A and B are shown apart, each in its own frame.
Chain A
């Protein structure tokens, strides 16, 4: 099934939820969902026999950097407002079709329901999204940093306004 058919199926399945297809000039299109309706949509595409997306390929977290840029006290730029977005890429081993779902969460306290009970592979992807972007996943059993050291308190590295700290436990970081 192409993404259009899946979109129409979801559309008439959930009338009240605002979902639409977005596409840039190049590349694939994907379905945009608001964070609070995300859990329903994910459950639907997993359990609906005609869709049956049982293989979560990848969860990617992106910092859209669309807030307004401000200068903080010692001069480096800070992005206020704006959104962080999450892309879920799924595949169905039986129906052999793919889909990409996007949700965007506001930057200040990003929180998204976890998808661990649907696909076990979401566990490490979500921990990495939390570690790199700071997006909290409610319901995740042990949401800890996975790649960075456990006591890293200098912020979330992959955000566009991340400033590399000068020292980490008396180890000088910059060259």
Chain B
């Protein structure tokens, strides 16, 4: 985990800045870091989930947002329209007929968006990997996935753990840099 020692370098100023470096001005100084952490905290603690259940994992997702394992504690509200949703929880088997719809839905979601691939069906085709002629072997073949939750269907606690892993991942993101190059290896 290189986050800790990087902060030490920052404090006792070991990193040499050369002005020709592209993101010279965007190196996370004290002020920018604070603003970034605030925005990451806001993005992390109010992930709005797109109501989007495919198969058996959708029932487990429903019981996660029901009374016993409350999704609302983490600030997750189910939003029906992709425009207002932040996280798309792909819960269930992705079939070929459904693949083009998921791609369109992912593109309709507005920008800081994340994907949790819930269950082994969405991750790698699950029990249908061998003879599933109509099953897409994993949703990461069509959309980038942030967190994979194992299990068939995963228990609600596993989904909550997946959500917390996604929140940790969002904490480490920097808003000011472009999205792809600031995904540090966690």
Contacts and interface: CB of A to CB of B under 8 A. Distances in A.
A158 to B, nearest CB: 10
Interface residues of A, number: 14
Contacts of A171: 96, 99, 136, 141-142
Contacts of A173: 96, 133, 136-137
B129 A168 contact: no
Interface string B81-100: 00000000000000011011
Interface string B112-131: 00000000000011000111
B134 interface: yes
B92 to A, nearest CB: 16
A7 to B, nearest CB: 38
A175 B99 contact: no
Residue from B133, B134, B136 with most neighbouring chain A CB atoms (10 Å)? B133
Given A168-B96, A171-B99, A162 B141 contact: no
Residue from B124, B137, B142 with most neighbouring chain A CB atoms (10 Å)? B137
Interface of A: 147-149, 157, 162, 164-165, 168-169, 171-175
A155 B125 CA distance: 22
A61 B108 CA distance: 41
A164 B133 contact: yes
A62 B87 CA distance: 44
A123 to B, nearest CB: 20
| Secondary structure of the A contact surface, majority rule | loop
A175 B134 contact: no
11 contacts: A147-B134, A157-B134, A169-B100, A171-B136, A171-B142, A172-B141, A173-B96, A173-B136, A173-B137, A175-B124, A175-B137
A149 B100 CA distance: 11
**7 tightest Cβ-Cβ pairs between the two chains A and B:** A164-B133, A149-B97, A175-B129, A175-B137, A168-B96, A157-B133, A171-B99
A35 B131 CA distance: 32
A148 B141 contact: no
Nearest to A164: B133
A162 B133 CA distance: 10
A171 B130 CA distance: 16
Given A148-B97, A168-B96, A173-B136, 13 more contacts: A148-B134, A149-B97, A157-B134, A164-B133, A169-B100, A171-B96, A171-B99, A172-B137, A172-B141, A173-B96, A174-B137, A175-B125, A175-B130
A148 B125 CA distance: 17
B102 to A, nearest CB: 11
Nearest to A168: B96
Nearest to B124: A175
A168 B125 CA distance: 16
Nearest to A162: B133
A173 B141 CA distance: 10
A173 B138 CA distance: 10
Nearest to B142: A171
Nearest to B97: A149
